[in-house]
């Protein structure tokens, strides 16, 4: 049974009623429960994926994944505040980029007693362990981003540096010299800044507002190390 409760702010019925005066007549009845369980809607889409994508052709699967990766590349190249990278994270893009970068950096070592193998492993390890460290750091600082989402963002934001690597390879085909070095330095610096801006655009929202600098600094160091690897690369 509903009971009418008079709020203390009720001006009374004699005077003209102000705009929201009627709200004070609303009360909570005894039989409406005011406690309960918070439920979240289950994403049953996951299960649908399992059964429905198993029967499609391989080409469909690959094209769909490639399109998703390509879409995310576009988001990195034109960074806006969006959570496409965060919502549907995947690690294909970072893997492709990391392998490309490691392969291109590998061919620099033509030492006869080293076959260039360790360099691939070094780049790979540095990229992935660097990304893991940054993710752990941002989680420990109180960010509410998931582990794989952060890996996804950091991996995708290596794209500008991979482009820088390609440009450097092309520039290195020309005459060596200080101008060569200056051009490469300029390209790498621009791409480095682009990577940082892109990753900050995606990651900044997940941190508490007064600690953004603490979370962005390791990202800066990480991309600095990768830029250094790219800049000091010289094929012979």
Partner 1 sequence: MATPAAPAGGARNGAGPEWGGFEENIQGGGSAVIDMENMDDTSGSSFEDMGELHQRLREEEVDADAAAAEEEDGEFLGMKGFKGQLSRQVADQMWQAGKRQASRAFSLYANIDILRPYFDVEPAQVRSRLLESMIPIKMVNFPQKIAGELYGPLMLVFTLVAILLHGMKTSDTIIREGTLMGTAIGTCFGYWLGVSSFIYFLAYLCNAQITMLQMLALLGYGLFGHCIVLFITYNIHLHALFYLFWLLVGGLSTLRMVAVLVSRTVGPTQRLLLCGTLATLHMLFLLYLHFAYHKVVEGILDTLEGPNIPPMQRVPRDIPAVFPAARLPTAALNATAKAVAVTLQSH
Which segment (7-15, 17-25, 66-74, 112-120) binds partner 1 by CB under 8 A?
Answer: 112-120
What span, in angstroms and rounded, lies between the C-alpha atoms of 204 and 139? 12
89 lines the binding site for partner 1 (CB under 8 A):
yes
Asked if residue 196 lies in contact with residue 105, where contact means CB atoms within 8 angstroms, the answer is: no
Least distance from C-beta 202 to partner 1, angstroms?
A: 15
Report residue 220 CA to chain centroid gap. 14
Least distance from C-beta 153 to partner 1, angstroms?
A: 14
**Segment 145-164, which members bind partner 1 (CB under 8 A)?**
145-149
82 lines the binding site for partner 1 (CB under 8 A):
no
User: Residue 31 corresponds to which tokens in the numbers above?
Assistant: 């039989």
User: Residue 189 corresponds to which tokens in the numbers above?
Assistant: 């610096």
Q: CA angle, corner 88, sides to 86 and 73, nearest 5?
A: 75
Report residue 233 CA to chain centroid gap. 27
Least distance from C-beta 124 to partner 1, angstroms?
A: 11
- Identify the CA nearest to 101 among candidates 165, 151, 9: 165
**Segment 180-219, which members bind partner 1 (CB under 8 A)?**
181, 210-211, 213-214, 217-218
Q: What's the alpha-carbon Rg for the chain, to the nearest Å? A: 27
Q: How many CB atoms lie within 10 A of CB 229?
A: 21
What span, in angstroms and rounded, lies between the C-alpha atoms of 137 and 130? 10
113 lines the binding site for partner 1 (CB under 8 A):
yes
Task: Report the residue from 1, 19, 23, 46 that binds partner 1 according to the rule CB under 8 A.
Answer: 46
Which segment (4-12, 19-27, 73-81, 121-129) binds partner 1 by CB under 8 A?
Answer: 121-129
Task: Report the residue from 16, 22, 33, 178 that binds partner 1 according to the rule CB under 8 A.
Answer: 178
Least distance from C-beta 94 to partner 1, angstroms?
A: 16
What span, in angstroms and rounded, lies between the C-alpha atoms of 47 and 54? 11
140 lines the binding site for partner 1 (CB under 8 A):
yes
Give the torsion sign (CA, 26, 31, 36, 42). negative
Least distance from C-beta 207 to partner 1, angstroms?
A: 11
123 lines the binding site for partner 1 (CB under 8 A):
yes
116: left (phi over 0), alpha (psi -120 to 50) or beta: left
Binding site for partner 1 (CB under 8 A): 37-40, 42-43, 46, 89, 108-111, 113-114, 118-119, 121-123, 126, 136-137, 139-142, 144-149, 176-178, 181, 210-211, 213-214, 217-218, 221, 224-225, 228-229, 231-234, 236
């Amino acid at each position: 049974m509903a009971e009418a409760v008079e709020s203390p702010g009720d001006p009374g019925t004699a005077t003209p009623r102000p705009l929201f005066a009627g709200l004070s007549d609303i009360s909570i009845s005894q039989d409406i429960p005011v406690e309960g369980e918070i439920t979240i809607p289950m994403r049953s889409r996951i299960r649908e994926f399992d059964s429905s994508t198993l029967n499609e052709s391989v080409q469909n699967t690959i094209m769909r994944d490639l399109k998703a990766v390509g879409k995310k590349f576009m988001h990195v190249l034109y960074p806006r505040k969006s959570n496409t990278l965060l919502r549907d994270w995947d690690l294909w893009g970072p893997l492709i980029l990391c392998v490309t970068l490691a392969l291109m950096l590998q061919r620099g070592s033509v030492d006869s007693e080293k076959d260039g193998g360790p360099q691939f492993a070094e780049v790979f390890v540095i990229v992935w362990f660097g990304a893991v460290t940054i993710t752990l750091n941002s989680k420990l600082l109180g960010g509410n981003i998931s582990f794989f989402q952060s890996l996804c963002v950091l991996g995708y934001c290596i794209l500008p540096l991979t482009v820088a690597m390609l440009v450097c390879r092309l520039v290195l085909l020309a005459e060596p010299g200080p101008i060569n070095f200056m051009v490469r330095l300029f390209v790498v610096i621009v791409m480095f800044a682009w990577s940082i801006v892109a990753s900050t655009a995606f990651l900044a929202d997940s941190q508490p507002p007064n600690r953004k600098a603490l979370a962005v600094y390791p990202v800066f160091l990480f991309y600095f190390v990768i830029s250094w690897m790219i800049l000091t690369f010289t094929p012979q």
